[in-house]
Amino acid sequence: MGIYRYTIRRLLQAIPVLLGIITITFLLSDAIPGDPVQIMLGPSPSQAQIEAIRAKYGLNQPLYVRYGNYVWGLLHGDLGESLYYQVPVLLKIKQRLPATLLLLISSFAFAIVTAIPLGVISAKRRNKPTDHISRVIALVGVSTPSFWIGLMMILIFVYHLGWFESTGLVIPWEGPGPLIAPGNQAAALGAWTDHLVESARHLLLPTLSLGTLQMAAITRIERSSMLEVLSEDYVQLARAYGVSERTILRKHAFRNAQLPVITLIGLQITAAIGGAVLTETVFAINGMGTLIVNSIYRQDFPTIMGTTFFYGLVFVIGVIVTDISYAYVDPRVTYGEAE
Amino acid sequence: MATQSESDDFLSEGSSSAQEAEEPEIEARVGWRYTLSQVKRDATAMAGLFVVGLMTLMATFSFVDAELFAFLAQFETFASVGVEKYWFAKHFWVSPIAEPQGSIQLLPPVGMENQFGAGTWAHPLGTDDRGRDILVRLVYGSRIAIEVGYISTAIGLVGGVLVGAIAGYYGGWTDDVLMRAAETLYAIPFLVLVLAFMAAFGRSLMFAMIGVGVASIPTFARLIRSRVVSVREEDYVEAAEAAGVRDRNIILRHVIPNSFAPVLVQGTLQVGYSILIVAGLSFLGFGVQPPTPSWGQMLSTSKDYMLQNVWFSIWPGLAILITVVGFNVFGDGLRDALDPRLKN
């Protein structure tokens, strides 16, 4: 089977999964107790007001009609309208996504940059003190509640040392704002520098808080994957030929050990999205996570549906892209029979 | 994450021999008894088992004192002799829920001092924002964590094993439908799915457990399916089919037991993960309601008092950390014992 046919097949396979996600989110929000109309209009609305709202959101129609309308809306890129904010859910996601995206990218960057060397060193110095230390770090990392790490870091670095900020994020690419007079390059440069420093001061603690779990998980898999590769016959053969350990590690072992690591990183992304909900709450960040939590408190069901579907869609696309890139990168992967 | 390789015959023999081994020399190498002896030789795994056992014991004790005594107190016979909720704690210790009169709030542990006074042996770990003893609340809070960990894992394990075994055994469109459904659940981030589930059905602890259980079904289903696909081709399964054994019995008696080893390992790790997730849910305000003590909720309350008494947040965090480390270490040890080739 050619790569194009494989791509098309993977896309087709995604359709039932997406429909499943839509159905689950739709049915869950239908089961949400309490009348959304009352939440919007307060305790004593008039009959006409109730009717108007019910008609506007289509609540007076039977379940299957509403389901059909919802799917039809999704096909046109319409995720519905938030009951609380009274704006399209898609707009709300657009506003909230940058903060979450920034948090996810920076915590994965932190996790990958620290975990891969840690895992490789751990495998290289197996059962030596360095290995034990790195294993303990990894074990504690996967066993600690991320929000607790966040709280402890706020206590130390914000309250006691005052080095960093504990609330909100400053998005670096949004710029320092229109305060600078045009043409004054020195002032603009200064403002940008301040802006970026400010951004880093806000970002560092949430990054560490969320990234620790991913770092620990990646370290564990990197270590065991490296150990497995290092015991392979071809590595033994290279050793027998007198190739230096350094070269073996760099040229023979490292590359071949990365496939399970990449798979795990992919799977960790959904875990991190869940973790971001907690991190955003601890650090009072206006991201997707706090949007979801607040929507649940407010019983804002279109927002719950919209955000859940959005995450599901991102995951499905992510899996397809990963599968297809495997097929490109690794010639041993046969893009044939579905596993 | 389980890292079992798929073409692995050792595991299947390891779990089947308990019933089928007739030759003693085989039994000496494989089977549950062998696995246990391997775990016993692994000091780290034994430490993990010790933590798991201790926490389970503490949780059972708290459950008896809270729920069983509260249940018995409804009956005249027991109520007349003074049985009540937290009977043991009230008579031999302090009540974990009552706010004592005159007790100092936010006291530090023994040997330390803060603006509210010095720590005393009456409250070895200090007191919380309402002057309650932190140690007694930690002990009674273990119940929620352990209960949630075991029950939600049991839901996910039973559900996942059935779905995965049926999908793997029958193959074809049954496989397609079940695994697409599992993939659907898997696509939604774990915590987001549980939150949506609780929004729909209720914010109580029960729905937290069910939600976490249901959300973990796909993990178990995928894991056992990958084993079942190869176990299905084994001779003994074909023999059973030829002998006309019903599918249900083949799946329950032959296919599942012989594919169970990785599920057992994942189950142990999942208990720890569930404890973390439910602590997170309590932190967000979804889960057990005050005054019932739970670690997640203690952490959630303590974040407003971090500057006054930091120990109030340190203890429940440490309790969660130690418990989850226990389950992770024991799970890792179990995996090494079940498949020595993965032992690094």
User: A188: how many CB neighbours lie within 10 A of its CB?
Assistant: 15
DSSP-derived letter for residue B117 is E
Q: Residue B205 — very low, low, confident or very high, per pLDDT cuts 50/70/90?
A: confident
CB pairs under 8 A between A and B: 154
Q: Which of A31, A264, A281 sits opposite B284 (nearest CB)?
A: A281
Residues 6+ apart with CB under 8 A from B96: B86, B89, B132, B133, B136, B137, B139, B140, B293
State whether residue A88 is helix, strand or coil: strand
Selected residue of B42, B114, B148, B183 to mutate for chain A interface (largest A Cβ count, 10 A): B183
To the nearest whole Å, the CA of B167 is away from the closest chain A CA by 13
| B239 interfaces chain A, CB cutoff of 8 Å | no
State whether residue B113 is helix, strand or coil: strand
The residue of chain A nearest to residue B273, with distances taken between CA atoms, is A143
Instruction: Test B299 with A147 for CB contact under 8 angstroms.
Output: yes
Q: Round to whole Å and give the CA distance between A21 and A17.
A: 6
Q: Round to whole Å and give the CA distance between B244 and B280.
A: 50
DSSP-derived letter for residue B312 is H
Q: Residue B20 — very low, low, confident or very high, per pLDDT cuts 50/70/90?
A: very low
pLDDT, position B114:
76
Q: Residue A42 — very low, low, confident or very high, per pLDDT cuts 50/70/90?
A: low
Residue that is written with structure tokens 């809306």 in the block? A73
Asked if A37 contacts A53 with a C-beta cutoff of 8 angstroms, the reply is yes
Q: Angle, to 10 degrees, between the axis of helix A258-282 and the axis of helix A185-230?
A: 130
Return the structure tokens found at A317.
């696309």
Please check the confidence at residue B3 and state whether its pLDDT lies above 50.
no
DSSP 3-state percent helix, strand, coil across chain B (nearest 5): 70, 0, 25
- Within chain B, strands assigned E span 113-114, 117-118
Q: CB-side exposure of A288: number of CA atoms within 13 Å?
A: 28
Instruction: Test A277 with B329 for CB contact under 8 angstroms.
Output: no
A244-272 pLDDT, tens digit each: 888 888 877 888 888 788 878 877 888 88
Instruction: Test A152 with B1 for CB contact under 8 angstroms.
Output: no
Asked if A271 contacts B190 with a C-beta cutoff of 8 angstroms, the reply is yes
Domain boundaries, chain B: 144-229+260-342
Q: Round to whole Å and give the CA distance between A124 and A138.
A: 16
The residue of chain B nearest to residue A149, with distances taken between CA atoms, is B317
| A221 interfaces chain B, CB cutoff of 8 Å | yes
Q: pTM value?
A: 0.84
pLDDT, position B28:
47
User: A201: how many CB neighbours lie within 10 A of its CB?
Assistant: 16
Instruction: Test A277 with B191 for CB contact under 8 angstroms.
Output: yes
CA distances to A232, A234, A261 from A229, rounded to whole Å, are: 5, 9, 13
- Which ipTM score applies to this complex? 0.84
CA distances to A270, B141, B263, B277, B331 from B335, rounded to whole Å, are: 25, 29, 10, 23, 6
User: B104: how many CB neighbours lie within 10 A of its CB?
Assistant: 14
Task: Give Rg (Cα) of chain B.
Answer: 24
Q: Which of A24, A29, A264 sits opposite B1 (nearest CB)?
A: A264
Please tell me whether the peptide bond between B291 and the residue prior to it is cis, using omega within 30 degrees of 0: yes
Asked if A118 contacts A222 with a C-beta cutoff of 8 angstroms, the reply is yes
Q: CB-side exposure of A117: number of CA atoms within 13 Å?
A: 4
Phi first, then psi, for residue B74 (nearest 5°) are -70, -25
For residues B11 and B300, the model is more confident at B300
Q: Which of A180-184, B290-294, B309-313 has the lowest mean pLDDT?
A: A180-184
Give A-chain residues touching B216 at CB under 8 angstroms.
Answer: none
Q: CB-side exposure of B179: number of CA atoms within 13 Å?
A: 22
Give B-chain residues touching A312 at CB under 8 angstroms.
Answer: 184, 187-188
Q: Which of A139, A299, A308 sits opposite B192 (nearest CB)?
A: A308
**DSSP result, A150-171:** HHHHIIIIIIIS--S--S----
Q: Which of A24, A273, A301 sits opposite B189 (nearest CB)?
A: A273
First to last CA, chain A: 15
Mean pLDDT value across residues A272-300: 89
Please check the confidence at residue B159 and state whether its pLDDT lies above 80.
yes
State whether residue B133 is helix, strand or coil: strand
Burial string for A204-220 (b: 16+ CB within 10 Å, else e) reads bbbbbbbbbbbbbbbbb
DSSP 3-state percent helix, strand, coil across chain A (nearest 5): 75, 0, 25
B48-100 pLDDT, tens digit each: 899 999 999 998 988 888 778 778 778 877 777 777 777 777 777 777 777 77
A62-115 pLDDT, tens digit each: 778 888 888 888 888 888 888 888 888 899 999 999 999 999 999 999 999 999
Across all residues in chain A, what is the average pLDDT? 83
B234-283 pLDDT, tens digit each: 888 889 888 888 888 888 888 888 888 888 888 999 999 999 998 998 88
Please check the confidence at residue B219 and state whether its pLDDT lies above 80.
yes
Residues 6+ apart with CB under 8 A from A22: A70, A71, A74, A309
Domains, chain A, in order of start with CATH, read 89-297 (1.10.3720.10)
Return the structure tokens found at A232.
């392979």
Q: Which of A13-27, A132-146, A239-253, B139-153 has the lowest mean pLDDT?
A: A239-253
Return the structure tokens found at A7.
């791509």
Q: Determine if residue B342 is left, alpha or beta; phi over 0 gives left, psi from -120 to 50 gives alpha, anything else beta.
A: alpha
Among the ranges A181-190, A330-339, B199-208, which has the highest mean pLDDT value? B199-208
| B279 interfaces chain A, CB cutoff of 8 Å | yes
Residue that is written with structure tokens 């059972």 in the block? B60
| A126 interfaces chain B, CB cutoff of 8 Å | yes
DSSP-derived letter for residue B204 is S
Pick from A108, A114, A105: nearest CA to A173: A105
Mean pLDDT value across residues A20-37: 79
Q: Round to whole Å and give the CA distance between B298 and B279.
A: 10
Q: Round to whole Å and give the CA distance between A133 and A115.
A: 13
Instruction: Test A227 with B299 for CB contact under 8 angstroms.
Output: no
- Assigned CATH topology for domain B144-229+260-342: MetI-like fold (1.10.3720)
A149-204 pLDDT, tens digit each: 999 998 888 888 888 877 777 887 776 666 556 667 777 788 888 888 888 888 89
Residues 6+ apart with CB under 8 A from B137: B96, B128, B293, B298
Return the structure tokens found at B247.
């599918």
Asked if A147 contacts A279 with a C-beta cutoff of 8 angstroms, the reply is yes
pLDDT, position B24:
46
Pick from B36, B30, B1, B25: nearest CA to B13: B30
To the nearest whole Å, the CA of B1 is away from the closest chain A CA by 8
First to last CA, chain B: 15
Residues 6+ apart with CB under 8 A from A228: A257, B344
